Amino acid sequence: MQGSSCRSAYSAKSRCTGMNNPFIIALIIGLGLAVLIDVTRHRIPNWLTFGIAFTGLVFQTWVAGGSGLGIGLLGLFIGLLCFLPFHIFGAMGAGDVKLLAGVGAFIGPVNVFVAALMALIVGGVIATVYIAARGGLRPMIRRYRTMLILLVARKPQYIPPEVGEAAGLRFPYALAIACGTALAVI
């Protein structure tokens, strides 16, 4: 077991979670693998997301015993809840949801909520660059301008992207989750 300074803090900012900690190195490697696999295969395998979650729970238990396990489970649950609605509505893959849940097991409920918010911001930036690189910025702006006009006219309506339009394509979200996690714990 670590010393008392480790037992009192669950955030990645505490002394017990420095870069010399093998569990934090495991999280970095896990997130790096998730990014690599997501970019190349457009999916994040269960063995990786469940492995990250399990390792995070072991880490939390190692740091603070039963209460640490509780923190890890709560972080896992909050991480799952943060992105589950996006998956339900088809905006995000299940692997992305499970990846954030695994991250939550490592960094706890408060930090995973912040990581989710940061991942959404980073993901928005990445999506904009992704769409612009594929020449889809103008059609997307036209769609959103039309939706805004309809909203002001009190006739709100979602106008989906045309088939093949860059804004309708999926992009690997693991990078946004990894960046959001880093921003949340730095």
Residue-range domain boundaries for the chain: 4-134+169-185
Q: In the predicted model, what is the mean pLDDT of residues 114-132?
A: 95
149 pLDDT above the threshold of 80? yes
Query: Which DSSP string corresponds to 87-134?
Result: HHTTSS-HHHHHHHHHHHHHHHHHHHHHHHHHHHHHHHHHHHHHHHHT
184 pLDDT above the threshold of 70? yes
Mean pLDDT of the chain: 88
pLDDT tier at 19, thresholds 50, 70, 90: low
CA dihedral 7, 10, 13, 17 (to 10 degrees): 60
Q: In the predicted model, what is the mean pLDDT of residues 107-135?
A: 95
Predicted pLDDT of residue 18: 57
Predicted pLDDT of residue 166: 84
Note the pLDDT tens digit of each residue in 45-86. Answer: 999 999 999 999 999 999 899 999 999 999 999 999 999 999
Percent of the chain beyond pLDDT 90? Answer: 73
Predicted pLDDT of residue 22: 82
154 pLDDT above the threshold of 90? yes
pLDDT tier at 106, thresholds 50, 70, 90: very high
Query: Is the CB of residue 108 less than 8 Å from the CB of residue 74?
Result: yes
Query: Is the CB of residue 157 less than 8 Å from the CB of residue 146?
Result: no
Q: In the predicted model, what is the mean pLDDT of residues 3-24?
A: 51
pLDDT tier at 15, thresholds 50, 70, 90: very low
